[in-house]
Amino acid sequence: MKTAVIVFPASNCDRDAAVALEKITGHKAQMIWHRDTEVPSDVDFVVIPGGFSYGDYRRSGAMAARSPIVKDIVTKAEKGLPVAGFCNGFQILTETGLLPGALMRNKGLKFVCRPEKLKITNGNSRFTSAYGSTANVTFPVAHHDGNYFADDATLNKLEKSGRVLFKYEDNPNGSARDIAGICNEAGNVFGMMPHPERAIDPLHGGTDGINLFKSIIESI
């Protein structure tokens, strides 16, 4: 099992993601610089981490989505490569079009940083299957632009097809229909604003993130 984490200028959760992957797989994740042009063909799973790529210049995730490595990620994801993006990674995935919708400024126009209770709304996906009968998890959030938006037709399609995997119990940012995390139609690309990679150690307040990583690793 080989995994990789993409590193952008001003990423600040790339190490967290790498630690989480090593904890679950027993192997070190490969750190791939944003100016590299290709994800190695033997990589089984890619994480696009949180942070503030390019300092959120212009719009969160907009510049990172045009990085050389992301072009290759899009190509490989469209062929089935499992990809997950957390926080800024989710913003990047929407900017590429791999996931629908957009992440706008929080409704309260304030940075939100706190543990957040989430409801698992589809426990049968490649990213949630290891949770079994678990209905709720708690992940940290830390974002200023986490207000998920899509038109009603898109939202209806996401919910009807089971592509909304997590919803907020206490919506911290104004996201449409309390959406916290979604996947693409093929089920191999997933994005969420909360940070499961920061919920893998009891010393950090909880381990609810472990089963998310177990889910996708086991599916591979």
Architecture of the structural domain at 3-219: 3-Layer(aba) Sandwich (3.40)
Q: Could you give the CA distance from residue 8 to residue 178 in angstroms, rounded to a whole number? A: 29
Going from N- to C-terminal start, the domains of the chain cover 3-219
The 10s digit of each residue's pLDDT in 59-97 is 878 889 999 999 999 999 999 999 999 999 999 999 999
Question: What mean pLDDT is reported for the chain?
Answer: 95
pLDDT at 80: 98
Query: Which amino acid is present at 149?
Result: F
Q: What 8-state DSSP symbol labels residue 100?
A: -
Name the amino acid, one letter, at 163: R
Task: Tell me which residue of 58, 55, 93, 61 sits closest to 77, measured CA to CA.
Answer: 93
Q: Measured between alpha carbons, how far is 61 from 54 in angstroms, rounded to an integer?
A: 8
* Residue range 145-172, pLDDT digits in tens: 999 999 999 999 999 999 999 999 999 9
Q: With CA atoms as reference, report the closest residue to 73 among 111, 47, 112.
A: 47
Give the per-residue SS3 of 121-176. CCCCCCCCHHHCCCCEEEEEEEECCCEEECCHHHHHHHHHCCCEEEEECCCCCCCH
Predicted local confidence at residue 57, as pLDDT: 72
Catalytically annotated residues = 87, 195, 197
pLDDT in tens, 99-114: 999 999 999 889 999 9
With vertex at residue 140, the alpha carbon angle to CA 206 and CA 204, rounded to the nearest 5 degrees, is 35
